[in-house]
Amino acid sequence: MSVPALQLEGLKKSFGKAEIIRGVDLEIGRGERHAVIGPNGAGKSTLFNLITARFAPTEGKVRLHGEDLSGLQPFQINRKGLSRSFQITNIFPRMTVFENVRCALLWAQGYRYSFWNLVNRSRQLTESTDAILDQINLSERRDLPAGTLSYAEQRALEIGITIAGGADVIMLDEPTAGMSHSETDYITELILKVTEGKTLVMVEHDMGVVFNLADRISVLVYGEIIATGKPADVRGDPRVQEAYLGEALETEQ
């Protein structure tokens, strides 16, 4: 088997005496769609923040395509091809939708910190930005300040910003949080479309979305992964049912 896209080795995180992540080992293959589920407070978002270096792990390692990410800053990890979205919408509210996406393209297109290029002189930059806007169905909103968009549109923009740079590992933190059913279907479809051929890691509460999207599922309970496997296997695992899923499935129905 080739090198996994993302590899977690004995990842631990404590805040003071509280152990939030208590030793997570996980391998996510290239091109896999992987969902992390678990009850509230299980540490799903913390796990995300550890992988993307928003927090430094207390112990353990994260490897991206086999490369150790210890000690790197978020922007350095992003440059290596890992991009994430946030649970709480995290866009540039005062800038236009177009500029939001364009900013996400700048580094990937090699502009770095340059002050000798003019962004609106670059046909390629404008065209790729418009292409992304088209993909996330926001072309109509192109010149509006991002902060004025509806919630679902902001979530779509958030996903657009996340995928724009062309990262091959995409991490989405609860992309459908706080959405109605129809909005959820819309975002699910969008995620399927824009992450084609990429590795997707997502935290999600909505079981419908998880079973629709994920190739494999990991169940995180109290900072430990108690099961990893295909959706059907995880659903059948008695430990999972006891800890979390049974309850969730009941409320789903």
Partner 1 sequence: MTDTNVKDPARSKEQITTDPSKPAQRMGAGSMTLTLTPWLIGAVLLAILPFVFTSNSALTIMNQMWITVIFALAYNMLLGQGGMLSFGHAVYAGVGGFACMHIMNASDFFASFPLPVLPIFGGLFGMGLALIVGSFSTRSAGTVFAMISLGVGELIAASSVIVVAFFGGEEGISGDRTYAMPFFGNEFLQQIDVYYLISFWVIVSAALMYLWSRTPVGRMANAVRDNPERAEFLGYSARWVRFYSFVASGFFAGIAGGLFAINYEILTEENLNTASSGIILLVTFLGGVGFFFGPIIGAIVFTLVQTVLSLETDLWAFYAGTLFVATVMFFPGGLAGLMMMHVPAFKLGKAGYLVRPYIRTLIPAAIGTLGLCALVEMTFHVRHAATGDTQMTLFWIPFDSHAILPWVIAAAIALIGLGIARATTPALRDAWNEANTAGDRS
Q: Does 235 bind partner 1 (CB under 8 A)?
A: no
Q: Does 103 bind partner 1 (CB under 8 A)?
A: yes
Among 18, 71, 123, 251, binds partner 1 (CB under 8 A): 123
Provide, rounded to whole angstroms, the least separation between the CB of residue 21 and partner 1.
20
- Residues touching partner 1: how many (CB under 8 A)? 58
Cβ neighbours, 10 Å, residue 195: 21
SS3 sequence, the chain? CCCCCEEEEEEEEEECCEEEEEEEEEEECCCCEEEEECCCCCCHHHHHHHHCCCCCCCEEEEEECCEECCCCCHHHHHHCCEEECCCCCCCCCCCEHHHHHHHHHHCCCCCCCCCCCCHHHCHHHHHHHHHHHHHCCCHHHCCCEHHHCCHHHHHHHHHHHHHHCCCCEEEEECCCCCCCHHHHHHHHHHHHHHCCCCEEEEECCCHHHHHHHCCEEEEEECCEEEEEECHHHHHHCHHHHHHHHHHHHHHHC
Among 35, 152, 200, 240, binds partner 1 (CB under 8 A): 152
Q: Does 182 bind partner 1 (CB under 8 A)?
A: yes
Q: Does 58 bind partner 1 (CB under 8 A)?
A: no
Q: Which is nearer to partner 1, 91 or 221 (CB)?
A: 91
Provide, rounded to whole angstroms, the least separation between the CB of residue 109 and partner 1.
9
Q: Does 99 bind partner 1 (CB under 8 A)?
A: yes
Among 161, 191, 214, 240, binds partner 1 (CB under 8 A): 161
Among 153, 204, 206, 237, binds partner 1 (CB under 8 A): 153
Among 12, 63, 65, 79, binds partner 1 (CB under 8 A): 79
**Pair 42, 203: CB distance under 8 Å:** no
Among 14, 58, 87, 139, binds partner 1 (CB under 8 A): 139
Q: Which residues of this protein are in contact with partner 1, per CB under 8 A?
A: 52, 54, 73-75, 78-79, 83-84, 86, 90-95, 99, 102-104, 106-108, 111-121, 123, 126-127, 130-131, 134, 137-142, 150-153, 156, 161, 165, 180, 182-183, 185-186
